[in-house]
Structure 1
Amino acid sequence: MNQGKYVFTQILTFLPKRTFDGIVNKYNGNKYIRHFTCWNQLLCMIFGQLTNRDSLRDLIVALEVHDKKSYHLGIGKRVTRSNLAKANLKFKRMYSAKVDKTKGVLCDQIGKLTGFYTSKNYPDKLRRIKYYDSENKRTFVFLTNNMEATAEHIALLYKKRWQIELFFKWIKQHLKIKSFWGTSENTVRIQIYTAISTYCLVAIVAQELKINRSTYEILQVLGISLLDKTPVNELFKNIDYNNVNELEYKQLSINLF
């Protein structure tokens, strides 16, 4: 069944494409899309996750090297950086509200996105809040559609990040996110969701094929074998794992099965 297929293609057979397409159709994810669909984007992101790419540019370089294999991998005819990276958000200020700069809020603006696609996808008003964090000496800019909360409240929400510190430590240790490939909220969300989906996919593959190895070990092997044509279960036969030890962090543990 898997004879002659790339390891990456074999892994994808465990992804419920029909379910994914149903979700995309429900939310019009492919609206205005001609070639590079949500499915193509997902596969590219999973490929980058499994091969431990450090950045979007790094991922594109890796895909370009194997450009002739893209179709057979299910990724599409050609992948470019512009396909994967959303156009920079351009915000046009309409008016501003008064702010208390002693609380760190530098500006509270109301406006709209002016990019060709972004303005079509989100034509409503947005709020742009610029905040200076004196503790870390950093300036942050937030875009939100929350018109009710105070600027101070929205700006200080990021401090809640400490409540999910363990979760992000787990992400770094297990999902292999070395750095984010973009700075917008949507880009970060997509990368995290892809990393979690990839981790779950590998766990499913291990369960279905009865691979008696840790998810960490499986990820290590798959990361260097995606373009092999060896059946996945044979990749894990007669391999010495003595030198492939996962770091034993006393952090958040997620047991999927």
Structure 2
Amino acid sequence: MAHCNTILNQLAAFFPRHDFEKLATQHHQGQKFRTFNRWSQFMAMTIAQLTGRKSLRDLVGNIAAQGKRIYHLGMRSTSRATLARVNDRQPYDIYKEMFFQLLQRCQARAPKHQFKFKGKIYLLDATTVKLCLAIFPWATFRQAKGAVKLHFGLDADGHLPVFMDMTNGKKHEIDWARSLHLPAGACVVFDRGFTDYSWYGDLDKKKIIFVTRLKSNAKTYAYGNNRKPDSPAVVRDQKVKLSGYTYTFRRIHYIDPETGIEYQFLTNSRKLKASEVAAIYKERWKIELFFKWIKQNLKVKTFLGTSENAVLTQLWIALCLYLLLAYLKFVAKLGLSLSGILRLLQLNLFDRRSMSDLFKPPDNSQPIKSPQLLLWN
């Protein structure tokens, strides 16, 4: 029987060790480690994500219980105090840079979006994570409440997070969106929380298409002739100007055939069909599902450290694992959901078996052979 390393060891191969050590050298502060290293920190926090550990003490105990099964991971002995100190003091930037290196690998495998639009489509939104202000004093939000806001931009190709930033809960989404360097020819999709007419004009000048919903109290007036609707669901497709601005956009009245709800979309695209504008905005729901998934399956709501650096370290490692799961989904092509892949990994994390066997579908053509079935004969 062929020897196999643990599933966790095979997952670790997704992060090339020599590349990791280069980043570790670049992003090191203070004195040189004596008995610990950043790889041990990364693997420990990865185990925390995949096994759902609730505290550093719980995590260190879990690692110690595995004994020789973690030998091939290259980890050094890990204590709670050492891990807490490294999470608190060593810069999280190593994992941020590592994330973008892995993102390039995932994008090469990611399926393209299904719209006729040829450029990139980015889905923008933000979600708030509530924190205790007494424990996280830097996460200012309200007088007696703490929170951080996670700003994300998803690429519609594979729904991969290509933009991420963490701010305090007070920062508005539009302030973050203005800082993004979006490529010309791309399309950005966002909800009414990003309403800023001057930003819409800036996007138009940079030749970036946007699709959003118009606020119910927005003051617009028709400008020019209406377009002929390309679908029965499109009630009106007209050129409009916003009150107080010289920009010219399109306002599309659309009735969802399934729910009967009427929507008003605003876009600066002159070429997209009205029905495709509605379909592209509907794609924005994928980022809501992304928020729901990471909050339910990864540790992004409760943290193993209290400093801002420790929180960002945990977040970027969680996003690296999300890329790993997405990569496995793209490569395996078994139709498994991300949740299904994660459950398989969690149940077999320290088992010695081949990764290909783990994701191989069962052979239903072979009869089940079990000695217990002989009892019925």
Same fold (TM over 0.5): yes
* Alignment-derived partner of residue 247 in structure 1: none
How many aligned positions are there?
Answer: 183
Contact kept, 8 Å, 2:139 with 2:146, in 1: the verdict is yes
CA distance in 2, matches of 1:88, 1:218: 28
Unaligned runs of 5+ in 1: 90-127, 141-155, 240-257
Sort the Cα spacing of 1:51 and 1:129 in 2 relative to 1 into closer, same or farther, 3 A.
closer
Corresponding residue SS for 2:322: helix
Alignment match, 1:233? 356
Residue 347 of structure 2 corresponds to 224
Task: After superposing the two structures, state which structure 1 stretch, 224-233 or 28-37, moved more.
Answer: 28-37
* Corresponding residue to 1:133 among 142, 152, 156: 142
CA distance in 1, matches of 2:292, 2:173: 11
| Residue identity matched to 1:175 | L
The Cα of 1:55 is off from its aligned counterpart by: 2.3
* AA of the residue aligned to 1:85: A
Amino acid at match of 1:214: S
The residue type paired with residue 173 of structure 1 is: Q
Change (3 A) 1:3 1:203: farther
Structure 1 contact 48–59 (Cα < 8 Å) conserved: yes
Encode CA deviations 1:109-156: one digit per residue, 9 max, x unaligned.
xxxxxxxxxxxxxxxxxxx9897933xx3479xxxxxxxxxxxxxxx9
* Cα offset, 1:226, TM superposition: 1.0
Equivalent residues of 1:182, 1:188 under 8 A apart = yes
Corresponding position of 2:256: none
**Partner in structure 1 of residue 201 of structure 2:** none
Partner of 2:15: 15
Q: Determine the C-alpha separation between the residues in 2 that align with 1:233 and 1:176.
A: 27
Q: Which has the higher contact order (CA 8 A, sep 6+)?
A: 1
Query: Higher strand proportion, which one?
Result: 2
Q: Which residue of 2 aligns with 1:172?
A: 295
Tell me: CA distance 1:230–1:57, structure 2 relative to 1, closer, same or farther (3 Å): same
Q: Which of residues 210, 213, 236 in structure 1 aligns to 2:336?
A: 213
- What does 1:106-121 align with in structure 2 at a 5 Å threshold? none
Q: Does 1:199 align with 2:315?
A: no
Kindly name which structure, 1 or 2, has the bigger radius of gyration based on alpha carbons.
2
Change beyond 3 A, Cα 1:47–1:87: closer
Q: State the 1:50 CA deviation.
A: 1.2
Greater fraction of residues in helix: 1
Q: Which residue of 1 aligns with 2:161?
A: none
Amino-acid identity (%):
34
| Contact residue 55 and residue 179 of structure 1 kept, 8 A | no
Partner Cα separation in structure 1 for residue 39 and residue 84 of structure 2: 15
Looking at structure 2, the residues matched to 25 and 88 of structure 1 have their Cα atoms a distance apart, in angstroms, of 16
Provide the rounded CA distance (Å) in 2 between the counterparts of 1:162 and 1:54: 30
The 3 A distance-change label for structure 1 pair 36 and 238 is same
Q: Does the CA-based 8 Å contact 1:14-1:205 persist in structure 2? A: no
Partner of 2:83: 84
Contact kept in structure 1, 2:6 and 2:353, CA below 8 Å: yes
Measured in 2, the distance between the counterparts of 1:220 and 1:157 equals 32
Alignment TM-score, normalising by the size of structure 1: 0.59
Change (3 A) 1:26 1:73: closer
Map of 1:35 onto structure 2:
35
Q: By how many angstroms is 1:177 displaced?
A: 3.5
Q: For the residues of structure 2 that align with 1:86 and 1:198, how far apart are their CA atoms?
A: 23
Higher mean alpha-carbon deviation, 53-62 vs 173-182, is at 173-182
Structure 2 residues without counterparts, runs of 5 or longer: 89-136, 148-166, 177-286, 363-377
How many Å apart are 1:158 and its aligned residue? 3.3
CA distance in 1, matches of 2:297, 2:321: 11
Measure how far apart 1:192 and its partner are. Answer: 0.4
Give the one of 183, 192, 197 matched to 2:306: 183
Q: For residues 4 and 87 of structure 1, what CA distance do their matches in structure 2 show? A: 32
TM-score (norm 2): 0.42
Structure 1 segments, 4+ long, off by >4 Å, are 128-132, 161-170
